[in-house]
Each structure stands twice: as structure tokens, then as C-alpha cells.
């Protein structure tokens, strides 16, 4: 079965094309600058060969037309005709409380997603544009929505509620939802596979550390807590997002700087985090380089980043009554040797003991980086959200076909 995975952002569409069940990536690429000057599609074939197409890509539908065109083109493509695409899986950011798992897209699903645009105004609308665009181009193709929030719908109420007037939860759905669910689900399942154990009997903490970052507590195979909340700003320090901050400081800054909600949102989402502290960059590689050259604010940004992750690991170990496996993923988690060492330092009391030599040589590949006798297995597991979406899509299509 050949599955196309789409991740539609406000001005871009990332895509990957898989052959299942052997999980082979056949092609991938990105459409960028949709609706802007200089829009283009960058396509990469299975053999790594890259091609660039420039054109007027005015909206998501045209972007998808470009993708379908290149996939089926005689020169650069990998299929003879579009009928070879069995289904399309979409990354959808917000599935609210309704979607506890991935779903075959139908009118009810679309209506619910329209409703949830209020909760994710930046993310759900482009996700929906992808669904609509594809439907108008190939009406017969089955589409599956895979939600970032779904994995966290197992959180208990005492973990997801905010201590604010209860009516605000009832009226507007103000609660913690959590994000990066597909990644936390993928890496925890993969870690159990590698260790040859059942997730059902494990206490796992997954650290997805990328430009966006979150930690998840997974007990007996389900998410019981996660650091992102109502929006993806809560929790860890991120590239340009503040993570946890005293609400009192937010209203104080709004008063002092005389700024409204929009500018405040920009301040805490785009100018804070590693960027805000370092004053140099939101990119961990650049910050590390500057810190190595003696920049004090970059050193501070790194210490704060590590410390925040460490605190979450401690609190989630307490929440689950222990920890068996600690997993690092995302661009920073998979590659930054010093970040992993900085986070794990001092956690020996929890049974977390890194093997420095193995940690130092593990970048971007599946590795157990703890000492042989460490009570907690510490692992690097590269995430693959697109593959997870493709696997979900295949399963749902097969279940649907079996029912029909």
C-alpha cells in the first residue's frame, strides 16, 4: 500500500511518500512560500536526488497539485498514475477532547475540525486546507487525520485541568491538551520494541527536544501527563517560546510595555525561549557554538534549558511512582551530546546513569546510552512522525475496508 503523508502549515506543505508494510520512504519534499513571491517545490527521490520546481503556488490546493504532479511525473516521479496512492494521512494538530485516536476523514470529522480551529487558530486551518484541497483534486481518495493531541487524551483529569473557575473549562474547553503526541507515541513504542518489552508494563519518560519541545510521562503504554498544555507554549524552554512562566509576570509586562494580547503572544512565542535569553539565536547549534566561545548568556540559556527538562523528569518520575526508561528524541535530543549529559547529571538518585563514552558517540541513531547496570535505560530514539502517520493511515484504511 502506498501512502502519502501531508503536514500542511500556514505557508508550507511537507510531504513524505511511503510504501507499506515494509515502511520504505519512496520520496519526500516540501512546498514553501505558498501564496507568496518565489514559491517553490523541493522534491527528493528515494536515491537522494533533489529537484526544484519554481512556480506560482497561490494556495494549498495548488501546492498539492504540484506534489501529485511530481510524484506521478515520467521524469521525476515514482508512480505511473495517481490511483497508485492508496490513501493520504494528514498531520492534524488539534483534535480536542473528541478525537482519542486517528480517524478516517468524513463530514463529521471535518465539522469537528472546523470547530477546533478556535483552539488552534494557527495550525488547524492549514491542516483543513490540505484536506479540502486533496478532496477537490481526488474526491475518491480516502484521507486519515492523525492528531497531535490524541495520544494525550488518556491524561487523568487531575493532570489536565487548570485551577481556574470550572465554568471556563465547560464554556471554552480551557484545559491542558498536550501536543507532539505522535512523536511521543512513536518513540516509546519503538523503544519497547528495541528493549523487547511490552509498553504495558513500563514507566517511560520521553523528551522530544527540538525547536518545539515537550516531555511526556507514559505509564503502562498511555500518556498520563505532558508538559505542553492548552497551547504548545507551556512547559519546557523552547527555541523561541518561553515555556512555563508566572502569569503575574505576563500581566505585569503587558501593563508596563502597554501591549495587547497579540503582541504579548508574539513576545512569548517568537522572542522568548533560547532566543530571548541568548539574544543570538533560537538554534541550539548556534547557541552551543557561542557558549563554547565564552558567551555567558548562551551558557545561561543552555543551563536553563537542561534544568527545566531535569525538573520535568523528576516530577514525572514522582507522578508515575518511578521510571524505567528515559528517551531522548527531536533535533536536540537526538544530536546534542552535551544536552543529554547536562539533563542526566545529578539524576543518579533516580537510577539514571549515562555511559559517557556511548553518549558521546550517539548522534541521530537508535542507541542505549546508559551504563549496562543503570537501573533506568536511557535511550536515543530518532522520531519519525510521518511514518507513524503512514502506519496509522494504513491500519485505518484496512479496518474500514474489512468493515465494508
Residue of 47, 59, 111, 148 marked active site: 148
Report the run of H or E that residue 5 belongs to, with start and end: strand 2-8
Check if 246 is active-site. no
Q: Does 289 bind ligand AMP (CB under 6 A)?
A: no
Residue closer to ligand AMP by CB (options 124, 214) is 214
**Shortest reach from residue 333's CB to ligand AMP, in Å:** 8
Give the x/- contact pattern for ligand AMP in 323-352, rule: CB under 6 A.
-------xxx--xx----------------
Residue closer to ligand AMP by CB (options 175, 185) is 185
Give the x/- contact pattern for ligand AMP in 211-240, rule: CB under 6 A.
x---------------------------x-
CA distances from 92 to 128, 206, 240, 312 (A): 8, 21, 22, 26
Residue closer to ligand AMP by CB (options 306, 324) is 306
**Shortest reach from residue 337's CB to ligand AMP, in Å:** 8
Q: Does 276 bind ligand AMP (CB under 6 A)?
A: no
Report the run of H or E that residue 145 belongs to, with start and end: strand 143-147
Q: Does 283 bind ligand AMP (CB under 6 A)?
A: yes
**Shortest reach from residue 110's CB to ligand AMP, in Å:** 29
Residue closer to ligand AMP by CB (options 211, 315) is 211
What is the residue whose three cell numbers read 468493515?
403
**Shortest reach from residue 287's CB to ligand AMP, in Å:** 8
Q: Which stretch binds ligand AMP (CB under 6 A): 11-19, 104-112, 217-225, 284-292?
A: 284-292
3 state DSSP class of 143: strand
Residue closer to ligand AMP by CB (options 128, 326) is 326
**Shortest reach from residue 274's CB to ligand AMP, in Å:** 7
Q: Does 93 bind ligand AMP (CB under 6 A)?
A: no
Q: How many residues bind ligand AMP (CB under 6 A)?
A: 12
Q: Which stretch binds ligand AMP (CB under 6 A): 95-103, 130-138, 279-287, 347-355?
A: 279-287
Residues 6+ apart with CB under 8 A from 303: 342
Q: Which of 147, 179, 177, 184 is nearest to 162 (CA)?
A: 177
**Shortest reach from residue 238's CB to ligand AMP, in Å:** 9
Q: How many CB atoms are closer than 10 A to CB 45?
A: 16
Order of strands across the sheet that contains 325-329: 222-226, 213-219, 203-209, 325-329, 377-380, 367-368
**Shortest reach from residue 383's CB to ligand AMP, in Å:** 8
Q: Does 284 bind ligand AMP (CB under 6 A)?
A: yes
Residues 6+ apart with CB under 8 A from 213: 207, 235, 236, 237, 238, 243, 309, 330, 332
Give the x/- contact pattern for ligand AMP in 135-154, rule: CB under 6 A.
--------------------
Report the run of H or E that residue 327 belongs to, with start and end: strand 325-329
Cell numbers for 173, please give them. 474547553
- Selected from 89, 130, 142, 210, the binder of ligand AMP by CB under 6 A is 210
Order of strands across the sheet that contains 24-32: 50-54, 40-45, 24-32, 13-19, 2-8, 85-92, 143-147, 103-104
Give first-to-last CA distance, the chain, whole Å.
18
Note every long-range contact of 315-320, with CB atoms under 8 Å and residues 24 or more positions apart, other chains counting: 316/205, 316/215, 316/216, 316/217, 316/225, 317/203, 317/205, 317/350, 319/159, 319/217, 319/224, 319/225, 320/203, 320/205, 320/217, 320/219, 320/224
d(CA 354, CA 371): 6
Residue closer to ligand AMP by CB (options 210, 235) is 210
Residue closer to ligand AMP by CB (options 153, 383) is 383
Residues that bind ligand AMP (CB under 6 A): 210-211, 239, 283-285, 288, 330-332, 335-336
> Would you name the residues annotated as active-site residues?
148
Amino acid at each position: 500500500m502506498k501512502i502519502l503523508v501531508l503536514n500542511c502549515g500556514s505557508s508550507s506543505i511537507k510531504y513524505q511518500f511511503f510504501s507499506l508494510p515494509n515502511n520504505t520512504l519512496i520520496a519526500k519534499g516540501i512546498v514553501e512560500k505558498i501564496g507568496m513571491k518565489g514559491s517553490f517545490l523541493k522534491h527528493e527521490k528515494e536515491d537522494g536526488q533533489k529537484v526544484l520546481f519554481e512556480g506560482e503556488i497561490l494556495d494549498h490546493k495548488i501546492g498539492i497539485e504540484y506534489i501529485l504532479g511530481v510524484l506521478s511525473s515520467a521524469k521525476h516521479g515514482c508512480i505511473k498514475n495517481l490511483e497508485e496512492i492508496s490513501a493520504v494521512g494528514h498531520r492534524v494538530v488539534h483534535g480536542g477532547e473528541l478525537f482519542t485516536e486517528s480517524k478516517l476523514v468524513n463530514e463529521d470529522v471535518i465539522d469537528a475540525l472546523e470547530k477546533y480551529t478556535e483552539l488552534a487558530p494557527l495550525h488547524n486551518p492549514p491542516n483543513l486546507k490540505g484536506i479540502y484541497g486533496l478532496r477537490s483534486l481526488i474526491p475518491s481518495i480516502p484521507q486519515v487525520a492523525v492528531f497531535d493531541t490524541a495520544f494525550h487524551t488518556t491524561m487523568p483529569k487531575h493532570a489536565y485541568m487548570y485551577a481556574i473557575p470550572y465554568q471556563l473549562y465547560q464554556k471554552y474547553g480551557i484545559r491542558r491538551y498536550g501536543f507532539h503526541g505522535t512523536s511521543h507515541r512513536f518513540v516509546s513504542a519503538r523503544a519497547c520494541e528495541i528493549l523487547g518489552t511490552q509498553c504495558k508494563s513500563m514507566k517511560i519518560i520521553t523528551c522530544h527536544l527540538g525547536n518545539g519541545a515537550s516531555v511526556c510521562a507514559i505509564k503502562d503504554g498511555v500518556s498520563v501527563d505532558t508538559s505542553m498544555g492548552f497551547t504548545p507554549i507551556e512547559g519546557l524552554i523552547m527555541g523561541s517560546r518561553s515555556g512555563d512562566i508566572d502569569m503575574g509576570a505576563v500581566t505585569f509586562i503587558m501593563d508596563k510595555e502597554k501591549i495587547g494580547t497579540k503582541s504579548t503572544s508574539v513576545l512569548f512565542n517568537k522572542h522568548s525561549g533560547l532566543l530571548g535569553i541568548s539574544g543570538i539565536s533560537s538554534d541550539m547549534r548556534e547557541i552551543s557554538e557561542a557558549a563554547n566561545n565564552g558567551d555567558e548568556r548562551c551558557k545561561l540559556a543552555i543551563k536553563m534549558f537542561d534544568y527545566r527538562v531535569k525538573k520535568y523528569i523528576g516530577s514525572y518520575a514522582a507522578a508515575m511512582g518511578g521510571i524505567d526508561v528515559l528517551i531522548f528524541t527531536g533535533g536536540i535530543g537526538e544530536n546534542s551530546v552535551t544536552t543529554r549529559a547536562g539533563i542526566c547529571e545529578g539524576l543518579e538518585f533516580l537510577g539514571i546513569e549515562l555511559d559517557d563514552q556511548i553518549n558521546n558517540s550517539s548522534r541521530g541513531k537508535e542507541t542505549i546510552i546508559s551504563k549496562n547496570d543503570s537501573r533506568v535505560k536511557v535511550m536515543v530514539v530518532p522520531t519519525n512522525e510521518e511514518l507513524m502517520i503512514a502506519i496509522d493511515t494504513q491500519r485505518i484504511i484496512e479496518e474500514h475496508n474489512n468493515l465494508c
